[in-house]
Structure 1
Amino acid sequence: MGHTKEQLLSLLQEHEIEFSQHEHPVVLTVEAQAKYVGHMNGALTKNLFLKDKKQRFYIVSALAETKVDLKVLSQRLGLGKGGLRMAPEEALTEIIQVPLGCVTPFSLVNESARNVSLLLDQRLKTQEYYFFHPLSNDMSIALNLHDLDKFLNSIGKLPAYVDLEADPTVGKDQPPDLAGLVPSGATVLPDPPENKASSQGHEKIPVSVNSKPTVVTAVKSFDAPERRNHVLLRIRR
């Protein structure tokens, strides 16, 4: 089970990381968050949870106004065009263990997220303070660059600040400039649990049709009492 908001706040205090906390209703977007903390001294951030084709995961944390082109970023990481896409919702709960709308660098505090790569917007360095959700989107906490780096170092993550709006040429003589930020290993999501209470039972029966090996899936249908013993044969060759 992942860290709770309370555990994270206690951890920050334990490491003497300074922050201010601001409670508000649950928000799912930067625009909604701005209604409650946008008037305060601090920059709003957007946080993207991404994956590549090899099941490697990334968090991109940027100022709200920074333009992040996933095609360009994919090429800069050496993944080719279209190499990055939004991670599926199940990865939120299995990998970084936070609800929808709660992705931030703080998500990396969970052990299950140890292989997730973090790309920080270089423009964060221009701000005195910025806001992130502390694993829960009913609160925002503000901290400065020094304390963000201090938190990342405390969990063994080396901060990597990137110009996310840059579009350098990538080619034979110009290798991807961000290739070093690609995670070294893939993360495998567990298979979803089987629903033993399913209304259908499946049984594979080996048979032979025209002397060719065939697998038949027998599906017992329980849609209506009068069809309880009916068996449908689906033949795959």
Structure 2
Amino acid sequence: MKHRGEAGLLADLSALAIPFAAHEHAAVFTVEESRAVDADIPGAHTKNLFLKDTGGAFWLLTVPAAARVDLKALPESIGCKRVSFGKPADMDRLLGITPGSVTPLAMINAEPGSVSVVLDARLAAQGRVNVHPLRNTATLGLSGAHILDLLRHWGHGPRIAEIPASEPQ
């Protein structure tokens, strides 16, 4: 039986011998709020977007925290139709999480094929990427390659893409 939730995540990290660093912290709901927390945590920090395209497909996109994703140019780079933000009810139903806790690690709760997961190419190559462990009161740091390994372990075919984004001025 497939494990789910944070306990399942920790069990899978152990079973796959994936090294990670865990940090507990105050709840953060936005990239802006997380900046104070991130200052003490080494590695690449992330922003996660839960999207739905006009064809009805759901997408989970993980990009560098400072990136401003160009949602108009995004469909061409990941191969989907025009996107908008997914509803919290769909996020809860498909990923078992709430806004503010979005993370590629929530794919442990998703049925294969229900959500397409995309990791920005800059993160996939990082030695340490910081993501939530399904709650916004902690951060796990692990390599981009290990995030991809977990996604594949859970039956997902993660995509690595050059996400069209601008850095803030």
- In the superposition, the TM-score normalised over structure 2's length comes to 0.86
Equivalent residue, structure 2, for 1:16: 17
Report how far residue 125 of structure 1 moved.
4.0
Say yes or no: does 1:84 pair with 2:92: no
Mind listing any 5+ residue stretches in structure 2 that lack a counterpart?
none
Q: Is the 8 A contact 2:105 2:147 kept in 1?
A: no
Partner SS for 2:10: helix
In structure 2, what is the Cα distance between the partners aligned to 1:78 and 1:156? Answer: 21
Distance 2:14 2:113 in 1: 22
CA contact (8 A) 1:17 1:150 kept: no
Query: Cα distance, 1:105 vs. partner?
Result: 1.0
Call closer, same or farther: CA 1:165–1:111 in 2, change over 3 Å: closer
Same amino acid, percent of matched pairs: 31
Q: Which residue of 1 aligns with 2:43?
A: 42
How far is the alpha carbon of 1:126 from its aligned partner? Answer: 4.9
The residue that corresponds to 2:34 in the other structure is 33
Structure 1 CA distance for aligned equivalents of residues 136 and 14 of structure 2: 20
Return the structure number with greater relative CO, CA threshold 8 A, min gap 6: 2
CA deviation profile, 1:136-187 (whole Å, cap 9, x unmatched): 1111000012321221221122332111127xxxxxxxxxxxxxxxxxxxxx
For residues 142 and 110 of structure 2, the distance between their equivalents in structure 1, rounded to whole angstroms, comes to 23
More helix by share: 2
Unaligned ranges ≥5, structure 1: 167-237
> Does 2:68 match 1:67?
yes
Counterpart for residue 192 of structure 1: none
Partner of 1:134: 133
Off by >4 Å, runs of 4+ in structure 1: none
- TM-score norm. by structure 1 comes to 0.63
Q: Counterpart in 2 of 1:57?
A: 58
Q: Distance in 1 between matches of 2:91 and 2:64?
A: 21
Indicate the RMSD between aligned Cα atoms, in angstroms: 1.9
Q: Give aligned pairs, total.
A: 162
Contact 2:125 2:145 in 1 (8 A): no
Q: Is the 8 A contact 2:125 2:144 kept in 1?
A: no
State the alpha-carbon separation in 2 of the partners of residues 74 and 145 from structure 1: 23
